[in-house]
Amino acid sequence: MFDDYNELVMHSGNMLDIDELKQKTGVKSSDELLDVMKIVLERGKTIPGEKTLEVYNITGGNELVDAQLLYTNVKLFLKTPTKEAVISAIETLKTVLYNISLDSVIIWYPNEMKGEPTEELLKLWSVLGEYVLKKKVVRLGIADVDTDVFISLYDKVEVKPEIFHLNVQNCCLVPPELQKFAEEKEIQLLTHYDPPDIMPEGNMIAELKNFKPYWIARYQSHIKCRGVLAKKGYLLSLRQII
């Protein structure tokens, strides 16, 4: 069935309404993602297109909260770091999340950098910056780059990163240079426990062994003025291995 399509788009629905996931605690995000994918394949509603198959897990409850009453934050794992992947991810997110303005988009970039951001990253950032200038995204951030890369990125781009997402699995201390720079530029430092790669090669579930991840987005929506988590979910695009 899946091999008839070039792309597979999957949406978890609101994970807060999936009992099996609510009962699990302390699960790594990479394992959580695989659990979500299995549930979507088991229960999801399929929407076939000419080259793309969409599989959405329909949930209820908090899924009905008015989107305009929510703050929505996204972490985008760019498994294939191209401008096309960025546009595909943001546009799909906005469609699924009722075209609201995304309050933050933090990107995970897969390629190692030393000293300076790559030209590839700068091009990706310019695409993201356009969404900010058009008021479709409020703030941008980046995860797990070296301090000097982050500072250089900040200096080179028009739309500045306002969030640094710091992995604290192996270190609980913020580098002093990063701490100082963040204070000077009013950059928000946030911590996370995601693995270095949320879906490493060879970790695909058996049903989708002929596909590879194109991009993966994790979102959380909180009710404004209350801080209550109303939605959490994954949205991802897989491309068939040619």
Contact by Cβ (8 Å): 83, 89:
no
Q: Is the pTM of this model over 0.85?
A: yes
Query: Which residue's structure tokens are 């609201």?
Result: 100
Q: Indicate whether 181 pLDDT > 90.
A: yes
Q: Indicate whether 204 pLDDT > 60.
A: yes
Contacts 24+ apart (CB under 8 A), 37-41: 37/10, 37/205, 37/208, 37/236, 38/205, 39/12, 40/10, 40/11, 40/12, 40/13, 41/10, 41/205, 41/207, 41/208
Query: What pLDDT is stored for residue 121 in this prediction?
Result: 97
Query: What pLDDT is stored for residue 161 in this prediction?
Result: 98
Confidence of residue 226 (pLDDT cuts 50, 70, 90): confident
Encoded amino acid at 127, one letter: V
Please compute the mean of the pLDDT values over residues 177-188 and round it to a whole number.
Answer: 95
Of 11-15, 24-28, 120-124, 204-208, the one with minimum mean pLDDT is 24-28
Encoded amino acid at 198, one letter: I
3-state secondary structure of 134: coil
Q: What is the Cα–Cα distance from 237 to 239, expressed in whole angstroms?
A: 7
Confidence of residue 131 (pLDDT cuts 50, 70, 90): very high
Task: Calculate the average pLDDT of the chain.
Answer: 90
Give pLDDT tens digits for 41-82. Answer: 998 999 998 889 999 987 755 555 677 788 999 999 999 999
Please compute the mean of the pLDDT values over residues 115-123 and round it to a whole number.
Answer: 96
3-state secondary structure of 63: helix
Three-state DSSP string of 188-240: EEEEECCCCCCCCCCCCCHHHCCEEEEEEEEEEEEECCCCCEEEEEEEEEEEE
